[in-house]
């Protein structure tokens, strides 16, 4: 049920304030800017002057064909979108996220990955332990440290939608499955990944229900395991063999996207086992791919320093979000699909509006690499996100609420 409602809100909001909003604005602007001067040049008796405006308004509007509008827009002559309605006078940004605490030096070395549940943040780093911080307490206290999880360090940790299961993968290539009971994580002995054929899995993603684990290998294979049936490998898609750097599963579980070192982005259908799209647009290594919550868009980014948005139904590139000046290491969609969060190697964190395709907030609290960014689940009415990286701390930001 949940994915469907998300899909609905997303498509609705896109329809309401997507590219069409520009036309709505254009139409009203036309009537004001062109018809009013004409009214002044006519010598109108004072008697009907007050009426004139309403008379004019009663006249059918000048019809502009869709084609013409479209051409003007494509030629860059259309009126610009009004975006600055609520910009912050201080920084020119339209959204404000305030730092609302951090877990300083949560790990003694770089934090490479974050995973969130509705109450917790799990973090993986170059040390052997995974750490769990609570997000319900404003001090973000450490609630659990899973020591000795990955001897050589851990580079990816993911959770399912419910927050009942987590999977982590270490530098040694070992995959660990964890389950959560009353906020405490323990090794999940019921679940396993059968790695009969040795494959060097690098990035992983977990389905919403936690049953399926998808992974991309260093030689470009995309694999799916059913964790509840002895970790049987149920899918193995082959690509051109370029190192798989990142992977994501759509919320409805129908699609897998993978990003590769040679700049390739692939989308696979888990039902048909086919690859409907091999997406172009990035030439340099891709470091992050992420499906929007409704599955309408796929965002991909990496060393090219731009975020490319693809329409997942057509495979077309629908937008380029540029603004980062360093490699982009991580992407995360807000739960409504309205905003996209990105973190880069120079320590910058940006929030992008999907409606306007612009950057609405930038944070640069550190100059060290940001390895992972994640939206947090809503607490009360405020949304927020967490970032982590080479500065070894987890920083949490919340949207500034009007007042």
Partner 1 sequence: MQIPGDLDNESRPLETIPATFQTPVQRYIQKTLSAVVDELSSPDGRPSITLKQRFRKPASLFLNPQTMALETRETQTHTTYTWPGSDANEAWRFAVAFRVLAAIAEAVQAGLVVSKRDIYYSDPPCFGSQRVVDTLVDDFAHTIRVDRAALHVEAAAKGLVVGYYQLTTRSREVVDARFSNQDVLIPRVQDIDQIDIANINWVLILEKEAVYRRLASSNYHITSAAGKGILITGKGYPDLNTRAFIRKLFDCRDQSTQRPQFYALVDSDPDGMAIMATYKYGSVAFAHENRNLNIPDLHWLGLRTSDIVAGPDPLGDEALIHLTERDRKRAITMLSKNPVWAADGPEQEWRAELQHMLVLNVKAETEILYDGDGGLVGWLDRKMLSSLKDSQ
Applying CB under 8 A, which residues contact partner 1?
A: 108-110, 112, 126-128, 151-153, 155, 171-173, 200, 218, 243, 245, 261, 284-285, 303, 326-327, 345-346, 369, 371, 390
For residue 75 the two structure tokens come to 């030629």
Tell me how far, at minimum, the Cβ of 91 lies from partner 1, in Å: 23
Region label for 350, one of left (φ > 0), alpha (ψ between -120 and 50) or beta (otherwise): beta
DSSP state of 20: H
> Is the Cβ of residue 285 or residue 295 nearer to partner 1 in the bound state?
285
Tell me how far, at minimum, the Cβ of 394 lies from partner 1, in Å: 17
Tell me how far, at minimum, the Cβ of 200 lies from partner 1, in Å: 8
Tell me how far, at minimum, the Cβ of 264 lies from partner 1, in Å: 14
- Tell me which H or E stretch contains 46: helix 46-58
> Is the Cβ of residue 174 or residue 208 nearer to partner 1 in the bound state?
174
SS3 at position 365: coil
DSSP notation for 201-216: EEEEEE-TTS-EEEEE
> Is the Cβ of residue 200 or residue 236 nearer to partner 1 in the bound state?
200
CA max distance for the chain: 91
For residue 386 the two structure tokens come to 């967490």
For residue 239 the two structure tokens come to 């690509």
Region label for 197, one of left (φ > 0), alpha (ψ between -120 and 50) or beta (otherwise): beta
Tell me how far, at minimum, the Cβ of 170 lies from partner 1, in Å: 10
Around Cβ 285, how many Cβ atoms within 10 Å?
Answer: 19
Residue 48 to residue 325: CA distance in whole angstroms = 60
Tell me how far, at minimum, the Cβ of 303 lies from partner 1, in Å: 6
Tell me how far, at minimum, the Cβ of 5 lies from partner 1, in Å: 36
DSSP notation for 230-292: TTEEEEEE--S-PPEEEEEE-TTSSEEEEEETTS-EEEEETTT----EEE-S--SPEEEEEE-
DSSP notation for 154-191: EEEEEE-TTSSEEEEEETT--EEEEEEETTEEEE-SS-
> Is the Cβ of residue 97 or residue 202 nearer to partner 1 in the bound state?
202
> Is the Cβ of residue 185 or residue 345 nearer to partner 1 in the bound state?
345
Q: How many residues does the structure list for the chain?
A: 403
| Beta carbons of 319 and 306 less than 8 angstroms apart | no
- Cα angle: 43, vertex 47, 49; to 5 degrees: 55
> Is the Cβ of residue 12 or residue 152 nearer to partner 1 in the bound state?
152
For residue 223 the two structure tokens come to 């694999």
> Is the Cβ of residue 78 or residue 326 nearer to partner 1 in the bound state?
326
> Is the Cβ of residue 161 or residue 173 nearer to partner 1 in the bound state?
173
> Is the Cβ of residue 324 or residue 398 nearer to partner 1 in the bound state?
324
> Is the Cβ of residue 117 or residue 304 nearer to partner 1 in the bound state?
304
Tell me how far, at minimum, the Cβ of 261 lies from partner 1, in Å: 6
> Is the Cβ of residue 298 or residue 329 nearer to partner 1 in the bound state?
329
Tell me how far, at minimum, the Cβ of 245 lies from partner 1, in Å: 7
SS3 at position 58: helix
Residue 274 to residue 28: CA distance in whole angstroms = 47
């Amino acid at each position: 049920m949940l994915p469907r409602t998300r899909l609905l809100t997303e498509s609705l909001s896109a329809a309401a304030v997507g590219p069409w909003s520009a036309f709505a604005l254009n139409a009203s602007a036309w009537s004001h800017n062109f018809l009013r001067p004409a009214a002044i040049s006519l010598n109108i008796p004072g008697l009907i002057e007050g009426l004139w405006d309403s008379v004019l308004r009663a006249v059918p509007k000048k019809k502009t064909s869709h084609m013409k509008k479209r051409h003007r827009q494509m030629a860059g002559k259309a009126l610009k979108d009004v975006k600055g309605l609520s910009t912050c006078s201080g920084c020119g940004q339209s959204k404000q996220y305030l730092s609302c605490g951090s877990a300083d030096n949560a790990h003694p070395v770089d934090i490479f990955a974050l995973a969130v549940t509705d109450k917790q943040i799990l973090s993986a780093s170059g040390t052997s332990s995974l750490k769990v911080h609570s997000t319900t307490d404003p001090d973000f206290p450490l609630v659990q440290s899973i020591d000795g999880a990955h001897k050589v360090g851990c580079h990816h940790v993911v959770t399912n939608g419910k927050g009942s299961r987590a999977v982590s993968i270490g530098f040694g290539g070992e995959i660990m499955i964890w389950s959560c009971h009353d906020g405490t994580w323990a090794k999940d002995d019921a679940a396993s990944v059968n790695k009969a054929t040795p494959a060097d899995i690098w990035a992983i993603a977990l389905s919403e229900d936690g049953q399926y684990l998808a992974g991309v290998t260093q030689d470009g294979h995309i694999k799916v395991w059913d964790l509840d049936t002895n970790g049987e490998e149920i899918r193995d898609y082959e690509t051109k063999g370029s190192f798989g750097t990142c992977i994501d599963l759509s919320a409805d579980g129908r699609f897998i996207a993978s990003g590769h070192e040679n700049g390739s982005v692939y989308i696979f259908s888990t039902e048909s086992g086919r690859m409907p799209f091999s997406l172009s647009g990035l030439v340099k290594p891709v470091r992050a791919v992420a499906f929007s919550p409704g599955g309408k868009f796929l965002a991909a980014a990496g060393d090219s320093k731009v975020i490319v948005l693809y329409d997942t139904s057509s495979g077309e590139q629908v937008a380029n979000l540029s603004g980062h000046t360093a490699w982009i290491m991580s992407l995360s969609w807000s739960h409504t699909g309205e905003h996209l969060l990105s973190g880069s190697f120079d320590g910058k964190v940006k929030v992008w509006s999907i409606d306007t395709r612009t950057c609405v907030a930038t944070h640069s609290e550190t100059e060290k690499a940001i390895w992972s960014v994640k939206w947090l689940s809503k607490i009360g009415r405020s949304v927020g996100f967490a970032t982590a990286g080479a500065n070894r701390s987890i920083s949490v930001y919340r949207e500034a609420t009007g007042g």
